[in-house]
Amino acid sequence: MTNLVRKYNVGLDIHEEVFYGTVLNEQGEVITEGNVKYSKESIQNFLGSFPSTDVIIAIEASSLARGVCKLLGELGYDVVLADPVKVHYIAKEKKTDKVDSRTLADLLRTGYIKLVYMPTDDIIKLRDISRHRAQLVRMRALNKVRIKSYLSREGTKFPGNWNKATLAKLKEMNLMIANFVNIIELLNEQIYHVENKIKKISKFNSKIQLLTTIPGIADVSAMLILGEIGDIKRFNSPKSLVKYAGLCPGVSQTGKKSHDVTSMANNKWLKWIITECGGRAAMLNKRYLKHYVRVKNRKGYGVARRSVARKMLTDIWYILTKEEPFKKSES
């Protein structure tokens, strides 16, 4: 964990071209503030008069954060990621770039800043390749839906499975469908290469191998799960991991009426993949199957799938924490 106690606390409200920066001293006084271009030269001009060892910078977690963290790291500055929801809640009465920047710096100075996990480079690599593979598969699925839509519009049934023979037959139907088939064939090739790379990486990663001992989880899904979880030590209990995946709903109650509330602050990738794996796990393992059937009979299919996913995440927490493989049980 980065030491947050520094002589100068900097808040950067980041955007694609221009940031707004605020530098506070230990007493909370504004030393300097203003617009900063997204470039090494501009940042060095803004912070150059402060020794990098005396400076810590806070930015909000966003899609731009990785690139900004990399640039600031190359300049020798320590950076922390702030929870944007918490920052917005504090600054919402008057939300401007200047206010956001000052809020970040002040929360950093006082120690009240809510930090977001910063994965290591190794975890980022796992996350990138597994998400990339998932995006390719989603693109392929979208093109399959489009082909079926074209066929339905023409009153033609889909002719079989998505094998080479079927794809060749689809190409002969008309030019528009042939265009989509060409895209699917290209995606098939790219997915094949990415999956081979994933398998090679997985072979030498002990944590991925541990995850593949769980029924319903193979190399591809294990890498995505590990990439999204990162360091298991940041979760102090199985429940905190389940909550991170958005599978532990809150409760809203008014009088005698209550209903579940799903938090929007969750890892959607982890939620998606563990729910997918939960369906397969229920078919492969008797313990998961019994749990699924019991919940399904009371609350239905959707709740049962999420419940199995929660059970799997609990197992994952213990497996990664103890570094022990999944223990099969017939009960």
Q: Where residue 40 sits, what CATH number does that domain have?
A: 3.30.420.140
Helices of type H across the chain: 40-47, 65-74, 84-91, 97-110, 121-153, 164-171, 175-203, 206-211, 219-229, 238-244, 268-284, 286-299, 301-322
Q: Is a pLDDT exceeding 80 seen at residue 264?
A: no
Q: Is a pLDDT exceeding 60 seen at residue 77?
A: yes
Q: Is a pLDDT exceeding 80 seen at residue 31?
A: yes
Residue 209: inside a domain: no
Q: How far is CA 107 from CA 15, 59, 234, in A?
A: 20, 11, 22
171 and 239, same domain (yes or no): no
Q: Is a pLDDT exceeding 70 seen at residue 93?
A: no
* Helix 40-47 vs helix 65-74: crossing angle, to nearest 10: 60
pTM of the model: 0.86
199 and 258, same domain (yes or no): no
186 and 91, same domain (yes or no): no
20 and 78, same domain (yes or no): yes
pLDDT value of residue 252: 45
pLDDT value of residue 327: 86
The percent of residues in the chain predicted with pLDDT above 70, rounded, is 92
Measure the CA–CA gap between 79 and 115, rounded to whole angstroms: 11
Among 131-135, 160-164, 200-204, 310-314, which stretch is predicted with the lowest mean pLDDT? 160-164
Segments forming the whole domain that contains residue 162 = 121-204
288 and 313, same domain (yes or no): yes
Question: Higher pLDDT residue, 249 or 155?
Answer: 155
110 and 12, same domain (yes or no): yes
Structure tokens at 34: 């203003």
Q: How far is CA 195 from CA 30, 203, 222, in A?
A: 51, 12, 12
Which residue, of 173, 204, 235, is where some domain finishes?
A: 204
Residue 132: inside a domain: yes
Q: How far is CA 308 from CA 111, 282, 314, in A?
A: 38, 8, 10
Structure tokens at 261: 């509330």
134 and 104, same domain (yes or no): no
Which residue, of 83, 116, 149, is where some domain finishes?
A: 116
Q: Is a pLDDT exceeding 70 seen at residue 257?
A: no
Residue 20: inside a domain: yes
pLDDT value of residue 300: 93
166 and 112, same domain (yes or no): no
Residue 214: inside a domain: no
Which residue, of 54, 87, 116, is where some domain finishes?
A: 116
Residue 210: inside a domain: no
pLDDT band at 313 (very low <50, low <70, confident <90, very high): very high
Domain total for the chain? 3
| Tokens 């996990």, located at residue | 117
pLDDT band at 65 (very low <50, low <70, confident <90, very high): very high
* Residues near 231 by beta carbon (within 8 Å), at least 6 away in sequence: 117, 119, 120, 123
Residue 213: inside a domain: no
